[in-house]
Structure 1
Amino acid sequence: MLLQDIIAAKRDGQTLSREAIRHFVMAIADDSAGNEQIGAFAMATYLNGMSLDETVALTEATRDSGSRLDYRSLDLPGPVLDKHSTGGVGDPVSLILGPWLAACGAHVPMISGRGLGHTGGTLDKLEAIGGYNVTPERATFERLLKDVGVVIVGQSGDLAPADKRLYAVRDVTATVSSLPLIVASILGKKLAENLDGLVMDVKIGNGAFLESDAHTRQLASTIADVARQAGTPTTALLTDMNQTLAESAGNAIEVHECLAILRGERRDSRLLQLTRRLAVETLLVGGIAKDRETAAARLDACLANGQVAERFERMVAGLGGPSDLLSQAPAHLVGAPVVRDVFAQQPGVVSAQDVKAIGMAVVALGGGRRRAGDAIDHRVGIDQIAGIGQAVDDHRPVARIHAASDDNAQRVAAQLRDAFTVADQAPALPLVHDTLPDPSLAGDLR
C-alpha cells in the first residue's frame, strides 16, 4: 500500500479504509513517511474532511502507534478515570479534580501538557511548585497511581508518537483546525492511558480554542462519539470561556487559588463549581456513583474532611515537591517582585471580558509561550480578575498584575484594561452550556 495512493484518495474526496489509515499512521510513527507526505495528508484531510468511521480509525491508529499504559500488575481497586480540557485561561481544574476523584476511589493517570498561545498548561502550573518532577520514573508513576490515586505528569515519548510528528507538521501547514485531526490528536493520547472512563471539558466562548461556537459544539459531540466507539465511555461538557474560570491567570498564582480551595477557604468560586460538576460526571461515567445526587454528596464529603487536600499534597511530595505545600505555600511558590492594580476607565459593572486578550497579557508578562519551547516565568500573571457582573470603581480594580519589572507591568496594564468592558449591567452566563454528544451534529467532519 503506497502512501501516495492514500494521499491521492483523500485528496479526491474518497473514504479511506481502516487499513489505509492505520498504514499511514504507522508510517508516521516509524519515520517512513516524509514530512511532505504528512503535510499533504493533513491538507487533504483539512479540505475534504473525514467520516465518523474514518475519524475513529484515525484515533485508534494514533492511540496504537506507541505503547499503552497497562495497570494489570497494579491490581487497582477502583476504575481508571481522567478528564481532558481543550484549554482555557485561568483554568487550573486538573489540580483540584485529580485528587478529588482519587479521594472518591478513582485512579487518575493524568497525562497533561504545557501552555501555548493564550491558553495555560497544567504542567507549567505544577512546575511553579519547587521540585515538582513532571517526568518521573515509571515505578514512581505506578506507585503514586496505586497508593495516592492520582499522578499528574507529562507525556512520555512512547505514548502516541505519531501524534507528535503529525501535530508538528499541522502547525506549519495551517491545518491545526481540522476537526478529525483535532479529535484524533486529543483522543489518541488520552485513550492510550487505557481509561475506564473519560470526561471532556470543551471550552466555548471568546476564549475557546475554536472561534466558532458551532464548530466547538461539533467538536465536543464528535469527541464523545469517537471515544465511545473506540471503547472508552465518555461524556463531553461544553463549558463557558467567555470569562476566566479562576480569578487568576498565571502559573504560581493559579496554584495559590487552588490551594485556597483545598484548604476550605473558598467555597463560592466558579472554579470550584465547574470542577465539582466535572467530577460528578466523571464519577458517573466511571461507575463510582449511580446518580448525580450520590456523586455530589460523596464529593462534598471528601472535600470537607480534607481528603482531597491530603491526596494533592501526597502527590506533590511523591513527585519531588514539598510535603508542606498547603501550610507553607509562600515558601515554595516564588512571587513576582512587582504588583500593580489596573483600574477601569470609569466605574460600573463588568459586562464582558476578552478572554484571549487576558491570556495574551499573561504571555506578554512572560508567563506563557508564543512558540513551543519558549521559556516562561512562573512568578508572573494576573489575579483579582473581576468577573462578569462584578462592580468596579476607583477602589476595586478590574485586575492586579504580577510582573517581573515596573516596565513590564506598565506595558501590559493598558492591554489588560482594554480586555474588560464596563457598563451599567451585565448578561447572565451559564457555567455549563450543554452535555454532549448530540446526534443532530453527526456527519462528515471538516
Structure 2
Amino acid sequence: MSFAAVDVIRAKRDGGVLSDEQIDWVVDAYTKGVVADEQMSALAMAILLNGMTPAETARWTRAMVQSGVRLSLDVGRPTVDKHSTGGVGDKITLPLAPLVAACGAAVPQLSGRGLGHTGGTLDKLESIPGWRAQLSVDEVTEQLRSVGAVICAATEGLAPADKKLYALRDVTGTVEAIPLIASSIMSKKIAEGAEALVLDVKVGSGAFMKTEEQARALAQALVSIGVDHGLAISAVLTDMNVPLGRAVGNAVEVAESVDVLRGSGPADVVELTLALAAEMLARAGVSADPAAVLASGEAYEVWCRMIRAQGGDPEAPLPVGAHKHVVEAPSDGYLVSLDAYAVGVAAWRLGAGRARKEDAVQAGAGVMCLAKPGDRVAEGQPLLELRTDTPELVPAALAALEGGWSIGDEAPAGRPLVIDTIRG
C-alpha cells in the first residue's frame, strides 16, 4: 500500500493517530529514499509536538526493526542485554557485561560512541591497545558461546531506518521526542536478538531526561514496546545529577571499571553494577549472587577473556593525558554539589568527547573527581584533576566547570542512586 508523504505529515500535524499501514509505509519509504529528509523532518516535528499513542510507538518500532535484519542468538544460555540512556562517568557496561556472563547468562552488548557531554562505551574500550569494536555476526555468536559476553559496534543491517532517522533528528531539534527516543533504542535492541533487556534510564542534570517525570514517561514507553515484542524487560530509573564514580573520560573509566572487577572501585559504581546485574539475571531466569561472583574474581577473568577475544591486551598500560591541571578547594568545608553536566562538558572540551560523530577523541583525556558530594575538604585540597594531551583546551574546560560545584558548612543530604524499577 502506498501513501502520499504529505498526507501522513498532515495527519500527525493535526493530532491524528497514524494507522499501521501509514507507519509501515513511511518508515520503509524513508529508508529507501522515497520520502525525502525534509518530509521526515516535518513528520518528526509533528511527532515531537503531538506525541504518539503506545500502539503507534510499538508499530513504529516494529517497522524500524523490519527495515533490516534480526539476529538469532542460539548460544546455549539465556541472553540478556542492558542499555543506558547516557550519562557522565557511566562506565557500568564495562564491569556489568563480564559479571553477568560470569553468573551464567550471555550478554550481547551492542554499544555506541559518545556525542556531546555523554561518553560512549566503544570510545572507552578503544583506549585498550589492540581492541576492536567491529565484529561480524558469526564472531559475535562465537564469542557469546565461548566467553559469554561481547561489547561491540552494531553489526551492519540492524535497523537501518533508525540509523538514518537518528542522524536527521540530531540536526532538526527533534531528539527529545519520547516516541522517537523509545523506538530508536528498542528497534536496535529487538533486532539484536536478546531474550531479555534491562534499561538504565538516567534522570538529572547529566542525563537527557532532566526530571523524574520525563524519565518515567520514557521508561514506561520503553517497557511497553518491549512487552509488545515479547521481551522480558525492566527499566531502572537512576540518578545522574552527580558523575558516576570518580573517573570521567575514556581510559580513566576503563581503569576504574577494572578496579571494580578486581574487588575495589567507587561504591556508587559497585552499587549500580550489582543492582543492574541482579535485575538482568532475574529477567534472564538465572539464579546467581552477583556480589559473590564479583568478589570471587570470576568476573575479572571473563573481562580479560572478552578483551583478548577482540584483539585487546587487558594488561597493557592505558593512555594517560600528557598535561594535568588541578582544581583546588578555595576553603574548608563539605563538597555540597558536583554537577554531572558541568563535569561532562569539561571532559568533552578536554578531548574526551566529540561534537560530531566523525570527530576523533583523546583516549587519555578526562576529569578525575578527587572529591564527591558529602566529602570533607580542606582549603587547597585537590577537588578535580583535568587531563588532556592539548593544554590549550584547559581554559574552556575550566569555564564549563564554573558554578558546577560548591562548598558549604554542612554535608548535603544523601540521595538514592536507584530511584525506581518498572517491570514489564
After TM superposition, the score normalised by the length of structure 1 is 0.91
8 Å CA contact retained: 2:242, 2:340: yes
Q: Give 1:169 shift.
A: 1.4
1:6 aligned to 5, 8, 19, which one? 8
Distance in 1, matches of 2:223 and 2:409, equals: 40
Q: Give 1:414 shift.
A: 5.3
Alignment deviations for residues 356-397 of structure 1 (CA, whole Å, 9 cap, x no partner) = 110010111111012221111111111144211112223532
Relative to 1, partners in 2 of residues 1:36 and 1:110: Cα closer, same or farther, differing over 3 Å? same
- Indicate the SS of the match to 1:61: helix
Distance in 2, matches of 1:11 and 1:317, equals: 51
Q: What is residue 312 of structure 1 aligned with on the other side?
A: 303
Relative to 1, partners in 2 of residues 1:306 and 1:200: Cα closer, same or farther, differing over 3 Å? same
Distance in 2, matches of 1:41 and 1:152, equals: 34
Q: What is residue 390 of structure 1 aligned with on the other side?
A: 375
State whether structure 2 residue 413 is matched by structure 1 residue 427: yes
Relative to 1, partners in 2 of residues 1:437 and 1:286: Cα closer, same or farther, differing over 3 Å? closer
Q: What is residue 140 of structure 1 aligned with on the other side?
A: 139
- Indicate the SS of the match to 1:398: strand
Q: Give 1:32 shift.
A: 1.9
Q: What is residue 119 of structure 1 aligned with on the other side?
A: 118
Equivalence map 1:54-93=2 (5 Å): 54-72=56-74, 76-93=75-92
Alignment deviations for residues 191-218 of structure 1 (CA, whole Å, 9 cap, x no partner) = 1112211000001111111233311221
Distance in 2, matches of 1:409 and 1:418, equals: 16
Distance in 2, matches of 1:193 and 1:406, equals: 41
Q: What is residue 186 of structure 1 aligned with on the other side?
A: 185
Distance in 2, matches of 1:215 and 1:415, equals: 25
Equivalence map 1:107-256=2 (5 Å): 107-256=106-255
Relative to 1, partners in 2 of residues 1:61 and 1:349: Cα closer, same or farther, differing over 3 Å? same
Q: Give 1:437 shift.
A: 5.4
Q: Give 1:5 shift.
A: 2.2
Distance in 2, matches of 1:5 and 1:417, equals: 49
Distance in 2, matches of 1:355 and 1:301, equals: 31
Q: How many residues align?
A: 421
Q: Give 1:30 shift.
A: 2.0
Alignment deviations for residues 293-352 of structure 1 (CA, whole Å, 9 cap, x no partner) = xx4xx2122212221111111111111111xx2xx342xx11111223211222211111
8 Å CA contact retained: 2:24, 2:63: yes
Q: What is residue 443 of structure 1 aligned with on the other side?
A: none
How much is the aligned-residue C-alpha RMSD, in angstroms?
1.6
Alignment deviations for residues 232-255 of structure 1 (CA, whole Å, 9 cap, x no partner) = 111101101010111110100010
- Which has the larger displacement, 218-227 or 91-100? 218-227
Distance in 1, matches of 2:342 and 2:201, equals: 19
Q: Give 1:41 shift.
A: 1.3
Distance in 2, matches of 1:137 and 1:92, equals: 24
8 Å CA contact retained: 2:135, 2:155: no
Q: Give 1:164 shift.
A: 1.1
Distance in 2, matches of 1:394 and 1:256, equals: 29
8 Å CA contact retained: 2:201, 2:215: yes
- Which has the larger displacement, 372-381 or 392-401? 392-401
- Indicate the SS of the match to 1:191: helix
8 Å CA contact retained: 1:342, 1:417: no
Distance in 2, matches of 1:131 and 1:37, equals: 43
Distance in 2, matches of 1:409 and 1:47, equals: 39
Distance in 2, matches of 1:140 and 1:167, equals: 27
Alignment deviations for residues 250-282 of structure 1 (CA, whole Å, 9 cap, x no partner) = 10001011111112233x520011010001011
Distance in 1, matches of 2:10 and 2:392, equals: 54
- Indicate the SS of the match to 1:285: helix
Q: What is residue 287 of structure 1 aligned with on the other side?
A: 285
Relative to 1, partners in 2 of residues 1:83 and 1:394: Cα closer, same or farther, differing over 3 Å? same
Identity of aligned residues (%): 42
Distance in 2, matches of 1:30 and 1:107, equals: 34
- Which has the larger displacement, 182-191 or 302-311? 302-311
Where in structure 1 are there 5+ consecutive unaligned residues?
290-294, 439-446
- Indicate the SS of the match to 1:288: coil
Q: Give 1:405 shift.
A: 4.2
Distance in 1, matches of 2:61 and 2:217, equals: 16
Q: What is residue 302 of structure 1 aligned with on the other side?
A: 293
Relative to 1, partners in 2 of residues 1:415 and 1:6: Cα closer, same or farther, differing over 3 Å? closer
Q: Give 1:156 shift.
A: 2.4
1:408 aligned to 382, 393, 403, which one? 393
Opposite residue 327 of structure 2, the aligned amino acid is V
Distance in 2, matches of 1:360 and 1:102, equals: 33
- Indicate the SS of the match to 2:382: coil
- Indicate the SS of the match to 2:263: coil
Q: What is residue 334 of structure 2 aligned with on the other side?
A: 349
8 Å CA contact retained: 2:107, 2:144: yes
